[in-house]
Structures are given as C-alpha cells and as structure tokens.
Structure 1
Amino acid sequence: MGKLDQDAARSTVNPLESLLRISSHLAGQVEIRTALRAVKAEIENIVAIDHLDVCLIDDRAEWNTSYEVGIRTRWSQSRTLVALSPIRRILLGETDHLLTGNAMEDPRYTYSGAISQPIFRHGLRSRVNVAMKVLGRTVGALNCSSRQADLYDESTVERVRHVADVLAPYFYSLAQSEKAKQAAIVRAEAQAREEGLRQGALELTRVLEQERQRIGMDLHDQTLADLTRLMRDLERGNGAPPDGDEIQARLKNCIQDLRRIIETAVPSLLELFGFAHALRIHLERAVANPRVELSVTDRTGGEVDVIDDTARTALFRIAQEAINNSARHAGASRISVEVWRDGADLVLAVEDDGSGAPEEPDCATGRARGGMAHMRTRARLIAAEFRLRSEGGTRIEVRLPGRASRPLAQGAGR
C-alpha cells in the first residue's frame, strides 16, 4: 500500500474504535515490549510513524528507560539520565508535549550533551512527543517519529495524546510490576546468601568443635598417656626405674607427638615452607612405609602461595585430611598431590591407588561424617567444588573458581 493509500485509509478510521482495540490488545499483556508490539499496528492506524517508542521514568525522575518497536536505537539499549534525554522537558514536567517538523535542526532535541544520535542516524525529522500521565503525574512519554519532514501538526498531537492516555495506566502498572518482581528477586537472593552464610557459620562452628575434640583426644590418648606411664615408672618403689637414655627417648617421642598435634592445628609448615613443600613434608611424615611412592607437584609456578590466605589454608587442610585418609586406610602403594590452573580456576587433586575410603553416613542424620564431611565443608566455605572418586583407588579433587583464586595484589603481603 502506497503512502497516499495509507493516508486515505487512516482518514477513514474511527479513532475511538482504534483506541478500544488498543485497550483490547493490552489486556493480558505482562511485559512492556510485547505490549507495545501488540498495539503498534493500531497506533499506525491513527498516526503515520517510522519509529515508535515509550519512555518511562523512575520515581525520582532521574533515569528513563525506553521501549521501542520498529527501528532499534541506542535509546532502548540502556537506561539514560532524564537530563540528557531529547524529550527532557516532558519528562521533567515542564511541558506536556513537543512537536517539530525537523528534529535534526530543532535545538530542543539536539542541545549540547543530549543523546540525540538516533535522530540523525535514522533521519527522524518529524516528531510528536506527548506526556503519559497517571493521576496527574508524568510517568513517561509516548514518542512518534517519521523520516518525512513537516508531517505532523496540532491535530496529530491530539490523536497521540488520546493514545498516550490509554497506554499510560497499563504501562505504568507493568513497570511497577516489573519493579516489584526485581525487588522480590533481590530480596530472595539476599535471604539465600544470608541463610547460606548462617549455615556455613554453623557448619564451621561444628567442624571446629570436632577439631577441638579431636585434638583433646589426641593429647589425652597419646601424649598424656605416655607421660602418665613414664611418671608411674619413675614413682615405682619396686623394680629398677628407667635409665636416663630410656627416659630421654620416651620424652623425645612425647615431644614429637606434641609437635605433630600442634602442626595439625596450626599450619606452621605452610607459612614457613610454602604450599607444595609443606604438603611434601606432611606426606612423608604421614606415610611410614618407605615403599609407598610419594609425589607433590605444583604446576602453578608458586601461584598457589599468593592467593587469599583463607582459601590457601582451606586447600592445605583438605589436602592434609586426604593424605591422612590415604595413609591410614587405603593401603596404597602410590599417593600423589597435584595443584594446577585450569583456565581461571585453581584445582587441587590428591590421588592414591588403594582400596578407597567411602564416606560413612551418620546413623542419626544419614549425612556423611568424618574426614570426608570435613573436606566437603571446608570446600563449601571457600566456594569451591568438591569431587570424590573411589574406583580403582581414591581421587579427591577441589576446584576453586577463578574469582576466589585470583592472586593477591602485588605488595599486599601476608
């Protein structure tokens, strides 16, 4: 259909019927862009357009968001400041409409700093912009543009104003609904983070309490028991007391046991020697059998030692626990520890060829307990992924995401 035919057809359209059809098309719409697309054809029956958009402002009239149909321009790609909008006078309530025969030459649209590039890029000369109001307050603007100059007049303004009056309450309601939906999402995410932190703190408290009890039992069952036996031997009135060499040897064993317990509680090896060397020392101490093949490999070039202290210590603890499991329970002939970068992620793997160490469920809760549960908890608290494979040996892999494993800023210090 040619332009003259379109104009002739438009002149025979009953505007009231078009407005009623616009209302009908809006019914059931739940998203602003789809609602605008639904009414575009009816609006074209009322006014000739090459570009149609709706601008909606926030409650403080500081930012506006544009929704377009037809031509896609910069206006709808992101929110913009009302002060930089070509139709700021409407959005700020200074006037209820703007009309121009050539916006490309109209200083009201092309003032310094205005985001008016789409006007020039798409040759949007004729423009009519009308305020959209709800309960007397401006909530946005309906904007019609044509590439043809001097196309619109005051009668066009009246027709567009009728359309804007129909659209305003619908679009305002949709915008408020979207705002409420986004607020609900933000609240839900905040509550989920808070609950996650709460659960993490509770789990950490539980694990620390178990660690404290384990240290207490180690001291009671081993060091204290050895010292008690030595004291009793010295106090015996009958029989020959232990000689000096025996006493020295037994005290030396007690000191070694205490050192092992302390190093388990405080990772001094990690601070003194770095991640890879500290694990190598721990691995050699944990595995008494000299025939077991041991290896520790750092493929990060020492980068694991410059990540966040909390994450590094957690990885060290996980590796310690995995090594202890392999040494005590697996009957392995080979135990290896490796750390490397996989893209941005930092990956730690402890692997053996032993009989495996399946997780043992707690009878009351059905949840895993013991070393595996502790490792999982430590991994979760640093946002790391924990994987366990128990076929043909045991492989424990911890993947620390890139955002949590970035090196500290140079010169930050430890």
Structure 2
Amino acid sequence: MPDTHHPQRADSVLLTIAERLTGMTDITAALEAVADDIARLIPFTHCDICMLDRPGWVVSHEVGIRTRWSRASSRIDNAPIRDLLLGRCEDMLTDDATQDPRYTFDGATCEPILNHRLRSRVNVLLKVKGKTVGTLNLSHSDLGLYDADTVTLARRIAAVLAPWFHILHRADRTRRASGSSDEGLRRGALELTQAMEQERQRIGMGLHDQTLADLSRLLREVTGDTPLPREQLADRLRETIDDLRRIIDTAVPTLLELFGFAHAVRVHLERSADAGTTLDVTDLTEGGPDRLDPTVRTALFHITQEAINNATRHAGAGAISVVVDRPSPNALTVTIRDDGCGIPATPARQSGLMHMRTRARLISADLDIRADHGTVVRVTLRASA
C-alpha cells in the first residue's frame, strides 16, 4: 500500500528525489533514477510522465513496462488521461482502469492498460507557475490499490518532479528542433544544478540557525536539574519537527529561483493548508518581486512563508489570501490575510514572529501585523530600500 502514514519518511524520500535529479540531462534517465524512490511511496507496476509537446500532442516517458505510449507522440484527444490534459479535472483515480470508460473510451490509446491489465491507476497534474505542463501517471495490476491518500501523496511527488521535467522537456525540444545533440540539455541541466547548489547552502543555514538551536535547547531542558514534563517535551519536539519539515518542504527544488515569487507562494500555500481551505494568490504587479535583488526577494518570500505557516498551523484559518501590489510607484507590498483566530497577545512560541521581524529589518522593509477579522500581515518595501 502507499506509504501515507509516515510523513517524515515521505519528506525524506522527496528530498532524495530532488537530489537524484540534480545534473540530469536526459528526461528518461531522470525518471529511471527516481523510479525506486517513487515506488517506496506509491508501489506501481507502471509509471510514466506525460508531457505536453506541440499543440494537441503529448510525449511520454515510462518505467516499469515498455509500452507504445513512449514509442511515439500521441494526440491529446486519444490519451486515456485526456480529461486531465483538457482541464476537466485535477486528478483521476480508479480501482480498475480496464473497466473504466474514462480510460477505455472509443479511440483511446488504451492498449497498454488492457494488455498489461493496469487496473489501479492514479493520475495527477504536473504544474509550473500554475500552468499544466504534463501529468504523473502510476498504475498497478492489483485491483483497488489506490485511494484518496494516494492522490495527495502523488500530488506531492508531482510538485517535486514538475519543474525538473519541465526544464528537461524544454531542453529536449530545443535539441530536437535545432539538431544540436546536447547543448540544449546542458543549458537546462546547468540551470538546475546552479539553483540546487544555492538551495543546499540555504538549507544548511536554516538547519544551523533554527533546528540545531532548537535541539540544543531541548537537550538542556531534558538533562537539566528539573527535566521537562513528558507532555511539554512532546510539544517542543513536534514544533522542532514542524520546523525541520518546513525547511525540507522549501528545498525541492528552488521554485522561487526557477519559477518566480507568486508560483512559489502558491505552491507553499497548497502544501501547508488543510483540505477545504480557500486559497488565493494575486499578483497585481506582473512579477514585481521577481525584479528585486535576489536576496531581497528571498527574504520577502520567507516572511510570506512564515505568515502562511502561522495561519495554517496556529490560527485555524479557513481562508488565506496573498496579494502583491504596488500602492505607489515607490513602494511594493505583500499582504497576507487570514480569517483565523489571530495571534495571541503573548504567544507561547515567538520564534516565527522574530524571524519575520529580523528578515524585514535586514531588507529595510516595514512589517505590520494587525488583527482584522483574523490576522493581516503586510510587508512594505520602499524604493530607497
């Protein structure tokens, strides 16, 4: 069964997947490199990545079983996952694809499903900057193996794979169009490698500055003359684990550098919020944060990230919105608004608020946190900064 009961293990596997993809220049080899890791989370008989190619056509790359899907490009209208590719749904799940008319309609290229009896299937979108670039498709010969938890886990895997395979596919198209054997692939791989190296440095700083300090404090409290009660110790450990997971969640791969501020914020919102939470990200500046100095943009993103974490983990928010605006020619604002219970007058744990204020000071930004039917956090950057 899919490994949905150990979120820390899933985080570790997802980080491993991102590490394996570093430096890859061939899209099929990249899929083969991470196939075993994907199977650790979701067992499969067949796995394929389907990428949108020229208008109306898709190309597939597969592992597990070699089928006609990867031998030639196919028309979207004939793809068993056409409902996904045409935007009719966000995911597809079935106990038996061989009997499901969504997969075996008249004219569908469904021979692999029938010939290899690929019954259980889960299909989720690959998205970059909110735009569909392809799908991740997992199949198993056993009946009824996948469920709603599998869909959630497959979406997490897809979020890691999407930017890597998008760039590799673009490089592959460039190579095919130009006839240059490796130049396009090398360019794409170089972009990914440089971005991942920068992210590794950021992760190291985060682990040193936050997680190591928290663990050291816990050690002192456990070994001191008056050790913490069991329940308080468990609460502190959960907080530290949440912080570590936050670092891991933002590590794969550097969505901010590759695909921009608004997309990175949207992905973090979707990963952090509970099902049913209303989410909205609006950029009224047409990419204003992405024209900032990279250091300033990164700090702005982490402040936004922390405000989102407070809303999802502590305030019980049912609706969260992020708006990027330019209220005047000399100012840029990011406003995070939620309808949760607000921030207590004396919060039990203030490290998140301290991090937000410190980051704001470092980039000479104004940080305003106030109550308004929930919490409103506004970061303002002036032209002088």
Which TM-score tier does this pair reach, normalised by the shorter chain? 0.3 to 0.5
* Highest RCO, 1 vs 2 (Cα 8 Å, sep ≥ 6): 2
Higher-Rg member (1/2): 1
